[in-house]
Amino acid sequence: MEESTPPPPPNESSPPPPPPAATSGSPTDFLKGVVGKRVVVRLTSGVDYKGVLSCLDGYMNIALEQTEEHVNGTITNRYGDTFIRGNNVLYISAAEAL
Amino acid sequence: MASQILPLELIDRCIGSRIWVIMKTEREFTGILTGFDDFVNMVLEDVTEFEITPQGTKKTKLAQTLLNGNNICMLIPGSNGPEES
Amino acid sequence: MDPSSSGIQEPFDLIRLSLSERVFVKLRGDRELSGILHAYDGHMNLILSDVEETIMIVDEEGQGAVNIAKRKMNMLFVRGDGVILVSPPSRT
């Protein structure tokens, strides 16, 4: 992962964002780095979807390309593109170097 | 009442160190916390996933991972997880 | 701002591009649908027509033998919270 110094906090009189300000390892930063890369998306059901992450939104809805569905370690389906509804997502894990 | 520490401030101080995450279901993670957001979605590095089943615990190693905050139950700072104790 | 070759900026673009096409839908409870997508919204509520539903019934005692039930519907509303994934027809 590329190393970058976090930007200094803005000196504004507006109320600061709630508790922790995003650091360089925040979920947003992770997602910026991982779009276009191979990922594993595990659902809470334990089913895995492996593919190239094309994009996602604030609900963790995910669009995957070249998707393979893995159940208990075996491929059970292949899809060209897949929309995964975010409420089912347990985690998104990088499957190649970022 | 002087300086109340917020729960998420404690987690903020864990950034850069190992943390043990226990989900609402029979599933746990350990990893180095690199960041999190207001939903307690967490980014972890050098992750081990533990799936606890009646047949035993299945371990999975993961690289950098974004964990959905939705299913998180508890966080234990500075712990290597279920195998430490 | 175009991370991939497909020109999809957000996940819902994938669904928008699948309107009037036959899509595969995976639902909670081991249900699968194939149908023509007519409408959707931000909850992933769906309207499908010419639908075939496949229900996997796993028999736990019989070593996980799977029974498959199928049925057809002309027009169907799917409540979004049951949706796990939607896969459009292959664009290749």
Q: What angle do CA C88, B71, C31 make, to 5 degrees?
A: 35
Of C12, C13, C87, the CB nearest to A79: C87
Q: Could you tell me the end-to-end alpha-carbon distance of chain A, in angstroms, rounded to an integer?
A: 5
Helices first, then strands: H and E counts in chain B: 1, 6
Other beta carbons within 10 angstroms of residue A3's beta carbon come to 5
Q: Which fold has domain A27-94?
A: SH3 type barrels. (2.30.30)
- Residue in chain B lying closest to A86 (CA): B68
- Model confidence at B10, in pLDDT bands (50, 70, 90)? confident
pLDDT tens for chain C, 92 residues long, are 444 455 788 999 999 999 999 999 999 989 999 999 999 999 999 999 999 999 888 777 766 677 888 999 999 999 999 999 999 977 54
- Residue in chain A lying closest to B62 (CA): A93
- Contact (CB<8Å) B67/A91: yes
- Contact (CB<8Å) A94/B34: no
* Interchain CB contact of B52 with A (< 8 Å): no
Which of A85, A88, A89, A98 is most worth mutating to test chain C (most C CB atoms within 10 A of its CB)?
A: A85
- Residues in chain C with CB shorter than 8 Å from the CB of A49 are 85
* Interchain CB contact of C46 with A (< 8 Å): no
Of A65, A82, A83, the CB nearest to C6: A65
- Here the ipTM equals 0.87
DSSP C3-30: -STT---SHHHHHHTTTTSEEEEEETTT
Q: Which residues of chain A have pLDDT under 50?
A: 1-3, 8-23
* Interchain CB contact of C27 with A (< 8 Å): no
| pLDDT of the residue at B85 | 56
